[in-house]
Amino acid sequence: MAKKRTGVTRREFLQQAALASGAMALTGLAPTAVLAGQAGEQKIGSQLIGKLEGPSLILDPAKFPTKFSEAPMLAELVKAGKLPPVDKRIPEEPMVVKPVHSIGRYGGTWRRGFTGPGDSENGNRIVSTDKILFWDYTGTKVMPCIAKDYKVSDDGKVVTIFLRKGMKWSDGQPFTADDFVFWYEDIYLNKDIQPTPNPDFMVNGKPGRLTKRDEYTVMFEFPEANYLFVDILAGSTAMGGGQATQQHNGRTMGAYMPAHYLKQFHPKYVAKDELDKKAKAMGFDGWVSLIKNRWDWRLNPELPVVGPWKTVTPINTPTWTMERNPYYYGIDSEGNQLPYIDKITMALAENLEVLNLRAIAGGYDLQERHTALSKLPVFLENRGKGNYDVRLDPALNGSDATLQINNTYEADAEIAKWIHTREFRRALSLGIDRDQLNETFWLGVGTAGSVAPSESMPYSPGPEWRKKWSTYNPKQANEFLDKLGLAKKDGEGYRLRTDGKGRIRLELLTAAGSFIPHTQICEMIKQQWKKIGIDADVKEIERNLFFTRINNNEHQIAVWLNDGTEVLYLFPRHALPVDTVEALLGPQIARWYASGGTQGKEPKDPQLKKALELFRSAAGKKPQERYKIAQEIWKIMVDEQFSIGTVGQSPAAMGVRIVSKKLGNIPARQVNAQHARTPCSSHPATFYYKA
Amino acid sequence: MLAYLVRRLILAILTTWAVSVLAYVVIELPPGDYITSYIAQMSSSGSFVSAQEAEALRQQYGLDQPLYIQYLRWMGMVLQGNFGMALEYGRPVKEVIGDRLWLTMVVSVGAIIFTWFVALPIGIYSAVRQYSVGDYIATFVGFIGLAVPSFMLALILMYFGFTMFNANIGGLFSDEMAEAPWSLAKAWDLTMHLPLPALILGFAGTAQLIRIMRANLLDELGKPYVVTARARGLSEARLILKYPVRVALNPFASTIGYLLPYVVSGSIIVSLVLSLPTVGPLLLKALVAQDMFLAGTIVLLLGVMTVIGTFLSDLLLMWIDPRIRFEGKQ
């Protein structure tokens, strides 16, 4: 691939055509044909993984710049008297960002691709510095964001946040504690808008309160210790997720809202009949739908925001465009108001193949979303022509294709008995050749092993748990299975059921069109399991049906990513059966856990129950103790193999970054994680166009 | 004639109603709803929705109510000319479809014109000169056109366009024009982008039409009235076009019923591959997202278009074929 060549041979063309049509063709062949051609170049992508780096925040006010400057397009407006000068627009205590490489230049339009109004996260993540607290570029340390600082009371019952004096909304109105109070009293406590309280604003099922101490101080109070709440405010959660993410598509959380703007749509301030009439005239069914539409930053260009860019043409048009927020509260270390880039345009691609082809043609300046790892060879071949670089950002989660065992499965008693037996699960895990999977589907850039998160996370139980029961050892697997009384085999070498009803056939459920080729991966696992005499059916179904079946407790083993589990407490649903929305590990147990034991079923397995009890106890613990508990939980999950991990810590999901050579301040590697709102942890406001 | 029209009209309304019920039921048949799909979408894009939020959204959109109530609510709105809100878009369905409708028509009409202009003459030629070299070439090209799936053709042409001509990929406008307000330059831009999708969309249809035209005309060419006409010394061109071609056109007229829905929706797969901002991909996405109002409205629109199209083709058939006309009178 590194060779310089202008022509295309027939073979290459066929390979690329196969790649390009991969997702279109319903069978979705794995890109093994391409890999076979490169057997000599192993780990094609490893040289594309750089050093983890990123911008940092200057927190010492003594080191803050005192002179400020601004983008030329804003300076003109100031000159024309249409905008106050820059020092009146930024807060007295701005967020001071030291760019990763250098001070940038103003100007330019960032070209990206998106797939339609469902692709909100494409833009939400870029403006995520509208969060209350955030993480540093490593994704491990809590940093200030719109709150300049925070304090946790000694008993852990009160978390106080301090806002930035003089901070303003994008329309120039002051951003104060009143915007938090408005959200809490008029939105969160309004039963028409928020019928049920949100668990992120509760501790052990008991609701928290929000109060204003003064103009710039807000307190979150809980009846019990809730040390975890700081992480919740920093994480991608309902309370801390920020305005853009938590208030799009009818969502109601985010802890603050532009009160001065939204009051005109709220029945506490305007007669309800009048609002309903207005709503009907605009095509909405009532005032709730109207106000939800008005506070959606993707749909309403008039909405005041606090992020670096604001919507100009909404997401429901062919081009979603954003332009700079003249009141953005961030500056660089020399006093230049951020962002550097004037505008972002996202062009609609009706399907992922077109998006990837456009990326190959150099149509995007920076795109890490929807760019597929399987297309890496084609990306690399065209990087000179498209004038871009390719960077890979491995994620922090343990396994991109996780075999999640349904712990409440009961439709087939014999299968249920076996998948609920520890040695059986261990044997299944030992029967998987993860290196082969890694080479075939992750181009060798993933890490083979268990479900445990990356060792760089404080929750990691340690490197020895990556390998535990998670290496390829068919001999030991066969011993386990023989010992369980499954030694009888049929003519083809498959083990037989004990009730005389033929072979043991496990059903692996996968979702069609998922980002990782789960179906093809499972087909390979099925081949590998032949050696341990276990037969499997891989059943690919449509994504909605996938989740519906899981919620109906119909699956034996469902395969999905375990992304987000690297921050176990903020996003546990892919690691533990605690959340009824995606309860792959047992919907009945999730119902039992979420209802506090009044519904669903208690887990039969004492180890699983122990893991859940540990998890419940963590919210009231301080960080160090919390880390220890998480490590305990991971040890249980790996030792018991409730979830069988395969290959993870890979760039497969949102980690294939196509970067124009014209762009500056682009980290060689950025943290790729949900809680870090990638790419926002790299502060896109500091990206710029070199000359 | 009038009684016939009135009867057809009543039947048309009944059919449309049946289509609306069927559309709603069929779209609702798969498990889950818009919220399940939203949850799945958020999950695969690295974000999430909590159970509480999901419940609140379900209540807001009325998805917690029984199917027939949801249908009646929708029908009530449709009868008042309000097609509801497209859930994913946060905009009235009318606007969302309207935006794409006329572009769809431009592309589809382009494809149809291409098809007819190419297929009719070739079809006539290969019937009149049966088993000539020209006929074999036309037949060969025609069968290739039938055999190659149009999305494959689209992919290949797009790839060559990119590697050999550095053409921009997919869409109906170049990047700088996509956002621009309407002007002559933008119309020209559209004209320049139109041939490729029109060709790809029309190609498969062309092959089919050539074959139909050829077969129909061959049936007619040997009939006594053609021989009689020739014996009376009519010029060959006039003879062929005036009599057998007119008869052979019958199948065209009767398929116009299916052309109308095609004009408003376009080809879904090819539009997806070429990233055309037409109604087809919109329908597919609405179905995947289980956006009832949007999907239901498009299916209803297609149903109405089929009904109108069939009606029109009946009228057209009466006009070009005296046999049908006289049967009607007897």
pLDDT the model gives residue A64: 95
pLDDT confidence bin for A181, thresholds 50/70/90? very high
pLDDT the model gives residue A151: 96
**Tokens representing A650?**
């890979």
pLDDT confidence bin for B142, thresholds 50/70/90? confident
Compute the distance between CA of residue B77 and CA of residue B79 in angstroms, rounded to an integer: 5
pLDDT the model gives residue A325: 97
pLDDT tens for A122-132 read 999 999 999 99
pLDDT confidence bin for B167, thresholds 50/70/90? low
pLDDT confidence bin for B53, thresholds 50/70/90? confident
Task: Give the three-state DSSP class for A369.
Answer: coil
Provide the percentage of residues in chain A whose pLDDT is more than 90: 75
pLDDT tens for B278-294 read 888 889 888 888 888 89
Compute the distance between CA of residue A279 and CA of residue A271 in angstroms, rounded to an integer: 12
What sign does the dihedral A277-B83-B86-A546 (CA atoms) show?
positive
Query: Measured between beta carbons, which residues in chain A are less than 8 angstroms from residue B285?
Result: 116, 118
Q: pLDDT at residue A392 above 90?
A: yes
Residues A295 and A287: beta-carbon distance below 8 Å: no
More confident residue, A563 or A13: A563
* DSSP calls for B6-54: HHHHHHHHHHHHHHHHHHHHHHH-SSS-HHHHHHHHHHHTT----HHHH
Tell me how far CA of residue A598 lies from CA of A351, A550, A572, A677, in angstroms. Answer: 44, 21, 21, 35
What sign does the dihedral A54-A57-A63-A67 (CA atoms) show?
positive
Which residue from A515, A229, A240 is spatially nearest to A373, judged by alpha carbons?
A515
Contact B60 A293 (CB under 8 A): no
- Sheet containing A209-214: order of strands: A147-152, A158-163, A217-221, A209-214
Q: pLDDT at residue A2 above 50?
A: no
Compute the distance between CA of residue A288 and CA of residue A300 in angstroms, rounded to an integer: 15
Q: pLDDT at residue A549 above 50?
A: yes
Provide the percentage of residues in chain A whose pLDDT is more than 70: 93
Residues A431 and A531: beta-carbon distance below 8 Å: yes
Query: Measured between beta carbons, which residues in chain B are less than 8 angstroms from residue A544?
Result: 30-32, 36-37, 40, 288, 290
Q: pLDDT at residue A27 above 50?
A: no
Residue A327 class from Cβ within 10 Å (0-12 exposed, 13-18 middle, 19+ buried)?
A: buried
Q: To the nearest whole number, what is the mean pLDDT of chain A?
A: 90
Of B32, B47, B179, the CB nearest to A245: B47
In this prediction, residues A254-277 reach a mean pLDDT of: 95
Provide the percentage of residues in chain B whose pLDDT is more than 90: 2
Give Cβ neighbours of residue B117 (< 8 Å, ≥ 6 apart).
none
Of A21, A121, A283, the CB nearest to B47: A121
What sign does the dihedral A552-A555-A557-A560 (CA atoms) show?
negative
Q: pLDDT at residue A463 above 60?
A: yes
pLDDT confidence bin for A26, thresholds 50/70/90? very low
Q: Does the CB of A292 have a partner CB in chain B at under 8 Å?
A: yes
> Computed over its alpha carbons, how large is the radius of gyration of chain A?
26
Of B51, B88, B91, the CB nearest to A118: B88
Phi, psi of A220 (to 5 degrees): -105, 120
Task: Give the three-state DSSP class for A4.
Answer: coil
CA B315 vs. chain centroid, Å, equals: 21
Q: pLDDT at residue A80 above 50?
A: yes
Residues A295 and A311: beta-carbon distance below 8 Å: no
Q: pLDDT at residue B267 above 80?
A: no
pTM: 0.84
Cα nearest neighbour of B162 on chain A = A361
Compute the distance between CA of residue A96 and CA of residue A162 in angstroms, rounded to an integer: 16
pLDDT the model gives residue A47: 80
Residues B91 and B82: beta-carbon distance below 8 Å: no
* DSSP calls for B66-121: -HHHHHHHHHHHHHTT---EETTTTEEHHHHHHHHHHHHHHHHHHHHHHHHHHHHH
Measured in angstroms, the CA of A545 and the nearest CA of chain B are apart by 6
Q: pLDDT at residue A21 above 60?
A: no
More confident residue, A39 or B171: B171
Measured in angstroms, the CA of A293 and the nearest CA of chain B are apart by 7
Measured in angstroms, the CA of A646 and the nearest CA of chain B are apart by 18
What sign does the dihedral B291-B297-B300-B306 (CA atoms) show?
negative
**Tokens representing A626?**
């919390």
More confident residue, A397 or A45: A397
Of B31, B82, B89, the CB nearest to A548: B31
pLDDT tens for A308-327 read 999 999 998 888 999 999 99
pLDDT confidence bin for B185, thresholds 50/70/90? confident
Contact A289 B85 (CB under 8 A): yes
Which residue from A465, A404, A199 is spatially nearest to B49, judged by alpha carbons?
A199
Q: What is the DSSP letter of A336?
A: B
In this prediction, residues A618-639 reach a mean pLDDT of: 94
Contact A236 B47 (CB under 8 A): yes
Q: Does the CB of A594 have a partner CB in chain B at under 8 Å?
A: yes
In this prediction, residues A584-591 reach a mean pLDDT of: 92
Q: Does the CB of A599 have a partner CB in chain B at under 8 Å?
A: no
pLDDT the model gives residue A4: 42
ipTM: 0.76
Measured in angstroms, the CA of B165 and the nearest CA of chain A are apart by 12
pLDDT confidence bin for A44, thresholds 50/70/90? low
Q: pLDDT at residue B71 above 50?
A: yes
More confident residue, B270 or A243: A243
Q: Maximum distance among all alpha carbons in chain B?
A: 85
Compute the distance between CA of residue A136 and CA of residue A134 in angstroms, rounded to an integer: 7
pLDDT confidence bin for B329, thresholds 50/70/90? low
In this prediction, residues B263-288 reach a mean pLDDT of: 83
pLDDT confidence bin for A219, thresholds 50/70/90? very high
pLDDT tens for A487-546 read 999 999 999 999 988 999 999 999 887 778 999 999 999 999 999 999 999 999 887 788
Which residue from A275, A343, A269, A347 is spatially nearest to A310, judged by alpha carbons?
A343
Length of chain B, please? 330
**For an interface test with A, which of B29, B33, B37, B44 has the most A Cβ atoms less than 10 Å from its Cβ?**
B44
Compute the distance between CA of residue A388 and CA of residue A376 in angstroms, rounded to an integer: 13
Q: Which residues on adjacent β-strands are paired with residue A203? A: A206
pLDDT the model gives residue B326: 61
Query: Measured between beta carbons, which residues in chain A are less than 8 angstroms from residue B151?
Result: 24
